[in-house]
Amino acid sequence: MSQLPRIVVLATGGTIAGASANPASSARYQAATVPVATLLAAVPALQSVARIEAEQVAQVDSKDMVFSLWSALADRVQYWCGQPDVAGIVITHGTDTLEETAMFLHLTQACAVPVVLTAAMRPSTSLSADGPLNLLDSVRVAAHADARGKGVLVVLNQQVHAARDVAKAHTSAVDAFVSAQCGPLGYVQDDLVRIARAPVRTATGVLPVPEQWPDVEIVASYAQPGRVAVDAMVGTGVRGLVVAAAGNGSVHETLVAALRDAAAAGVAVVRSSRTGAGHVAIPPAADPVDGVFVSAADLNPYKARVLLLLALAREPGLAAAPDRLQALFASA
């Protein structure tokens, strides 16, 4: 009889590991308290899908994500990817910043076997907790041959998403994760894993995990913004700024002036959109910010920040080369 595939579960915390004294409440609970062994034991069906090994890499509420944990997670992913008999890796995570960690892994990890992030919107003790099924489905996907070569994946609510595309789009619903622009890659229905298409951008591992992380922040454009935040950040040595711009990358004139000054001081400026979907156009030649501000393409501000962080960490000089930075945003 052939052996079940060996799947490694790397646990980092989140609501999937959350607990509450009141099962009827999905809002009042403590995230990141239940150990991974308990989470796995709650899903006996896993035993017929894979041989599972688990590591508690961290136990945090992902709202408090830090770069040192990203680095530690990348180390563990690299380690397990290097083990010849590992068929796939599942990472349990909080939903709040899952899209950022997914983007980080998409950009830094070149793993031959599937790397799948999962999470839950409801704590493990709640009525209709979604974590157990999300965990089982993630292991099913990580163990599936069709998931190979698809880049880093995110599995929740029976859907399979590309790490680059997915974002949290609801405060509490179990279908909170959407790939607004391109849709999910596939779905899981009990034993059936159906990956319907491959993302074009599976070129993972294009950027190294930084030794030193530059200061890269996000500012937003809205009615009558001040420039004090941008000026203050430039004053404290920020290396990059992502603007959560309105609509198709529109930035208030007050902020344009502040950001042009920031760019002149050597800060990389990237325009993303606060709308939640769509591609920010590279401005036409008549646009006053053409060639100065970079378009984030279809990356939301939080994902654009991750790319800018990694790009500036690898090559600080990119801040003064918007054309090359634009080429990276057009391809990563």
Q: Minimal distance in Å, beta carbon 95 to ligand ASP?
A: 3
Token pair for residue 144?
A: 């599936």
What is the Cα–Cα distance from 20 to 18, expressed in whole angstroms?
7
Q: Does 96 bind ligand ASP (CB under 6 A)?
A: yes
- Which of 95, 204, 221, 326 forms a contact with ligand ASP (CB under 6 A)? 95
Question: What is the total count of residues that contact ligand ASP (CB under 6 A)?
Answer: 12
- Which long-range contacts (C-beta less than 8 Å, at least 24 apart) are formed by 248-251? 248/273, 248/278, 248/280, 248/281, 249/273, 249/280, 249/281, 249/283, 249/295, 250/221, 251/221, 251/289, 251/293
Q: Are 271 and 288 in contact (CB under 8 A)?
A: no
121 belongs to the binding site for ligand ASP (CB under 6 A): yes
Report if residue 245 touches ligand ASP, rule: CB under 6 A: no
157 sits near ligand ASP (criterion: CB under 6 A): no
Smallest distance, ligand ASP to C-beta of residue 253, A: 36
Query: Contact 130/84 with Cβ under 8 angstroms?
Result: no
Q: In terms of CB distance, is 24 or 285 closer to ligand ASP?
A: 24
The 303-322 contact track toward ligand ASP, x by CB under 6 A, reads --------------------
Give the shortest CB-211-to-ligand ASP separation in angstroms: 27
d(CA 140, CA 234): 47
Considering the complex, what minimum distance in angstroms separates the CB of residue 168 from ligand ASP? Answer: 8
Looking at the Cβ atoms of 5 and 14, the one nearer to ligand ASP is 14
Which residue stretches of 188-321 are H helix?
A: 228-235, 253-264, 301-314
Decide: is 131 part of the binding site for ligand ASP (CB under 6 A). no
CB-closest chain residue to ligand ASP:
94
User: How many CA atoms does the CB half-sphere of 105 hold within 13 Å?
Assistant: 32
Active site residue 15: yes
Q: Are 297 and 331 in contact (CB under 8 A)?
A: no
Name residues contacting ligand ASP, limited to 25-64 (CB under 6 A). 31, 61-63
| Integer angstrom CA distances of residue 49 from 7, 108, 110, 137, 148 | 9, 28, 25, 10, 17
Task: Identify the residue among 119, 147, 241, 259 touching ligand ASP (CB under 6 A).
Answer: 119
Please report how close the Cβ of residue 106 comes to ligand ASP at its closest, in angstroms: 19
The least CB distance from residue 315 to ligand ASP, in Å, is 31
Residue 261: closest CA among 286, 229, 285: 229
- Closer Cβ to ligand ASP, 59 or 248, answer by number: 59
Using CB under 6 A as the binding rule, whether residue 154 contacts ligand ASP is answered as no
Tokens of 96: 């709040």
Among 202, 70, 49, smallest CA distance to 135 is for 49
Residue 12-31 contact track with ligand ASP, rule CB under 6 A, x = bound: -xxx---------------x
Q: Exactly one of 12, 15, 125, 204 is catalytic; name it.
A: 15
Phi/psi zone of residue 249: left (φ > 0), alpha (ψ -120 to 50 degrees), beta?
left
105 scored as a contact of ligand ASP (CB under 6 A)? no
Site residues (CB under 6 A) for ligand ASP? 13-15, 31, 61-63, 94-96, 119, 121
Residues labelled as active-site residues: 15
